[in-house]
Structure 1
Amino acid sequence: MGLPATTALNTTTPNATTGNTAPASRSRFYPWIVFALTFGLLLSDYMSRQVLSAVFPLLKTEWTLTDSQLASLSSVVALMVGLLTLPLSLLADRWGRVKSLVLMAVLWSIATLLCAVASSYEQMLGARFLVGVGEAAYGSVGIAVVLSVFAPRVHSTLSGAFMGGGSFGSVIGVALGGVIAVNLGWRWSFAAMAVFGLMLVALFRALVSERKLAQHAADDDPADAPGPAGFRAPISSLFTTPAVVFAYIGGGLQMFTAGVLLAWLPSFFNRSYGLALDKAGAMASIFVLLVGSGMVVCGIITDRVSRNDPARKWTTAVVFGVISLVFLGAGFQLPTGTPQLVLIGIGAFFSAGSSGPIAAMVANLTHSSVRASAFGTLTLANNLLGLALGPFVVGVLADRFGLVTALQIAPLIYIVAIIALVLGKRAYPAGRRKLAALTAAPA
């Protein structure tokens, strides 16, 4: 994979956010500093969100909570993310992405610290509500910041890595939170996550600014020319191109089965393999890491094969969906044993592999001035059509037919996702022309 276009240029680069013009004197390393800090905060995001799972038994005992109360402490974060991702992404595009990211990270870190000092279920619920508000738009705004300083030819790799960070952060949060809780108490689990987040956000604030991002802007896509100073694409442009709408739909549906695996594999290993809950969770964490690793590797593969033809990103997204459909469909049909685990592992690796290519396509089909909003829309689709809908549908099917049968049915949703992606590829050239026309003749 070639290095991003970060060598010095003798031109000027307009700032899509502020409309200012800055010298395009670029450092080779600054984009990677932006990526490292933004990715680190993404890990903090998911560590703060998922550390709760590690201390469930301790909270249940100390406060005599029901399972539904414990579930509400987790669900309230997902609810806020689902409701606020798009509006907060729109606000960040207008107010400033760096300021927005700093505010978000400070809010979720302080809210996590409030979890550490909560003395009742009601106080914990309020603190978790604030965690969800802080985390709501971080993913969409963060990835927009990262992609703004890297050339389009590596967008799939970076998008896959960024989106896969959620899996890594979740595993780290649960594992580290459990160790801290056992040795120091559950309150220190939350406190450690909060301190980590606040340290990172201080470093981010010191090193990243809108001015520096403008100086290192590397969007060399002629269809996404910045246009006149201060030009902002209309919000309607997020939905008026059929290709980008198909990308939202395909992206959301390809997360359906990935969401199912994340939610139901612990129960599958407990019921089908007879593993104790702790061992079932440990086994499931391996597959969660496969899902996250697949996002990164599939992004790298996509950037390599589409270097000379960006439209091939659609093709790789389709291929990854087909692979996951075949291997997961076959794996859940087999009896328990090593062959089944191998097939499910391969299917899990590719289950969200389309995430990077699809995010890159959304970037290619939307103007840079509304890109955080575009990723917010994609995040909304990923949650509504995939991460939220998938586990719920499988739960309903499991009640009726059994968990194994439900898991056998779940991969079939890839067929619909593949159809949406094929239609998106057909509409892609027209979408690119429409984006170029939007910039050339703004309303």
Structure 2
Amino acid sequence: MQAHPDLPSTTRHDRYLTGRREAWFAFAMTFALMLFDFIDRQVIVSLFPHIKNEWHLSDKQLGSLVSIVSIVVAAGGIPVALIADRTGRVRSVVVMAIAWSLATISCMFTGNYGQLFTARAIVGLGETGYGSVGAALIAALFPPRLRSATLGVFFAAPTLGSVLGVFLGGMIAAHLGWKAALGVVGVPGLVFALIYLRVRDYDTVALTSAPQRAGETLRHIFGTLLRTRTLLVVCGGAAAQLITISAIWSWLPSYLNRYHDMNVEAAASTAAGVVLVSALSCTFWGIVVGRLTQRTPRNKLHALSLLCVTTCAIFVTAFGGPYTGDAQLMLILIGAFFMNCTVGIVAGVAMDVVHPGMRSTGAAVVSLFQNMFGLAVGPFLAGVLSDRWGLQHALALTPLCSLLAAVFFVIAMRSYDHDVSRIVAAVRDVTPIDKNDRVGTADGVTSS
């Protein structure tokens, strides 16, 4: 049996779960918080030259200030998603947004590397699980035919947030100092967290064969996820591609400052433009690949493998070839258009193969791989390579990880149809919460 989750359908299930207006309000708010999540996370990369000069840090130490956020997010993502799936996604999002915003503001009061490293770890603790919980909510509220497109747009928010974080960091630092830049960007997240209370959640979906006891329920959930081969293989591909992405995002401002003789503000603005291109491309590839593969959804994975190979070829040429000046910047821009192709589509594939009652948890598995083995590795690895061979060689070597990503996506094609067919019936059981309870009421895990 083949299932086609992105095919247009005339059934009653191919519609908005809570209504078009409420679904798009939820999407807008979830997108906005994801935007500020990554503004707060990435603002620091444009400040590397200031921090390096004032505190005399190595590139490895600078890279660790980015990587620690991803490590903490990865470590806590699954527990937070489990809680969100069982107690409500909206409540969880509000608590997370308040926590990471306050932690970001606290960064401006640090006085040395150790204090800043600790504060950045707390930022990661607040951001833990947000992307996976947000993706699960969007996947449930929108009809399946819009899943790749909406998740593609949603997962453009990290890139767009990185653009704004880099740009705002350079601009604020130029006028108020680099510590002020670390604190100012944390305020908007507090405001959006309170507005998010108006988002309508959906009821927890019963796990058909799940037992009642908590320990047995956890074993059931993780046993099911671990048997979903497509999910695990796609996680590997997503992480490998994110090594390339995170290395470019984190080190391009410093590269432009060191090798193109740009001042810190100009380097941040130029790097923000490059990241903006990758933000737009995330949406572009989510829509294009989703539409081109409607008849055979597993071909989304084939498309991703080709895009990853293209990413590798362009960046290896840009940083390892003879190109300099404007020619090199043009190649970097072209590479940016391809490199962020995986994010939204991978999230859609994960939602295709995971039971609706486990979607936050399934998305958290993807997030764990992406953060621990992708976003955390890229900045630190590039920093280590830079200390040894120079930043240009580091940025020429890290894109080779995109080739590994391509291999993972090809392998995932073999199991996609089988894994989708196992959860199609469960999608029919997804229902919205009562309109009188905007933040939802936990139903718990039931048997049926």
Q: TM-score when scaled to structure 1?
A: 0.80
Q: 1:142 to 1:230 in 2, by over 3 A?
A: farther
Is 1:338 the counterpart of 2:329? The answer is: no
Q: Pick the aligned partner of 1:67 from 57, 74, 81.
A: 57
Q: 1:354 to 1:12 in 2, by over 3 A?
A: closer
Is 1:270 the counterpart of 2:257? The answer is: yes
Is 1:149 the counterpart of 2:141? The answer is: yes
Mapping of 1:375-394 within 5 angstroms?
375-394=363-382
Residues 90, 200 of structure 2: 8 Å contact kept: yes
Tell me how far 1:7 sits from its aligned partner: 11
Distance in structure 2 (CA, Å) of the matches to 1:70 and 1:394:
11
Is 1:415 the counterpart of 2:407? The answer is: no
Q: Which residue of 2 aligns with 1:366?
A: 354
Q: Which residue of 1 aligns with 2:313?
A: 326
Q: Which residue of 2 aligns with 1:37?
A: 29
Q: 1:404 to 1:180 in 2, by over 3 A?
A: closer
Tell me how far 1:400 sits from its aligned partner: 4.5
1:322-345 deviation digits (Å, cap 9, x = unpaired): 221232233332321433332222
Q: AA paired with 1:143?
A: A
1:31-74 deviation digits (Å, cap 9, x = unpaired): 1100100111112222233345566788889xx74536877665
Distance in structure 1 (CA, Å) of the matches to 2:169 and 2:390:
33
Q: Which residue of 1 aligns with 2:153?
A: 161
Residue 231 of structure 2 aligns to a residue whose secondary structure is helix
Is 1:424 the counterpart of 2:415? The answer is: no
Distance in structure 1 (CA, Å) of the matches to 2:405 and 2:50:
41
Distance in structure 2 (CA, Å) of the matches to 1:274 and 1:387:
27
Tell me how far 1:79 sits from its aligned partner: 3.5
In the alignment, structure 2 segments of 5+ residues that lack a partner are: 1-5, 429-446
Is 1:311 the counterpart of 2:298? The answer is: yes
Distance in structure 2 (CA, Å) of the matches to 1:89 and 1:393:
28
Tell me how far 1:127 sits from its aligned partner: 4.4
Q: Pick the aligned partner of 1:258 from 241, 245, 268.
A: 245
Q: 1:272 to 1:115 in 2, by over 3 A?
A: closer
Residues 242, 424 of structure 1: 8 Å contact kept: yes
Q: 1:131 to 1:87 in 2, by over 3 A?
A: same
Tell me how far 1:247 sits from its aligned partner: 0.7
Is 1:208 the counterpart of 2:195? The answer is: no
Distance in structure 1 (CA, Å) of the matches to 2:49 and 2:325:
30
1:359-388 deviation digits (Å, cap 9, x = unpaired): 111111111111111111111211233222
Distance in structure 2 (CA, Å) of the matches to 1:111 and 1:405:
34
Residues 43, 166 of structure 1: 8 Å contact kept: yes
Residues 77, 128 of structure 2: 8 Å contact kept: yes
Mapping of 1:279-298 within 5 angstroms?
279-298=266-285
Q: Which residue of 2 aligns with 1:18?
A: none
Q: 1:81 to 1:226 in 2, by over 3 A?
A: closer
Is 1:353 the counterpart of 2:341? The answer is: yes
Q: AA paired with 2:244?
A: T
Distance in structure 1 (CA, Å) of the matches to 2:398 and 2:328:
16
Is 1:170 the counterpart of 2:158? The answer is: no
Residues 301, 413 of structure 2: 8 Å contact kept: yes
Residues 22, 199 of structure 2: 8 Å contact kept: no
Q: Pick the aligned partner of 1:132 from 119, 124, 130.
A: 124
Q: Pick the aligned partner of 2:289 from 294, 298, 302.
A: 302
In the alignment, structure 1 segments of 5+ residues that lack a partner are: 14-23, 218-223
Residues 278, 339 of structure 2: 8 Å contact kept: yes
1:182-225 deviation digits (Å, cap 9, x = unpaired): 556767656643431121111110x2133xx35xx9xxxxxx99
Residue 241 of structure 2 aligns to a residue whose secondary structure is helix
Deviates more, 1:36-45 or 1:409-418: 409-418
Q: 1:420 to 1:60 in 2, by over 3 A?
A: closer
Deviates more, 1:394-403 or 1:301-310: 394-403
Distance in structure 2 (CA, Å) of the matches to 1:411 and 1:40:
30
Q: 1:144 to 1:343 in 2, by over 3 A?
A: same
Deviates more, 1:248-257 or 1:405-414: 405-414
Residues 104, 183 of structure 2: 8 Å contact kept: yes
Q: Pick the aligned partner of 1:100 from 83, 92, 98.
A: 92
Q: 1:383 to 1:131 in 2, by over 3 A?
A: closer
Residue 20 of structure 2 aligns to a residue whose secondary structure is coil
Residues 5, 150 of structure 1: 8 Å contact kept: no
Q: TM-score when scaled to structure 2?
A: 0.79
Residues 7, 294 of structure 2: 8 Å contact kept: no
Residues 51, 57 of structure 2: 8 Å contact kept: no
Identity of aligned pairs, percent? 34
1:216-255 deviation digits (Å, cap 9, x = unpaired): x9xxxxxx99758999762222221222211111111111
Distance in structure 2 (CA, Å) of the matches to 1:4 and 1:204:
31
Residue 309 of structure 1 aligns to a residue whose secondary structure is coil
Q: AA paired with 1:349?
A: F
Deviates more, 1:67-76 or 1:42-51: 67-76
Q: Pick the aligned partner of 1:47 from 35, 39, 43.
A: 39
1:137-176 deviation digits (Å, cap 9, x = unpaired): 1111111111111122222222222222112223323433
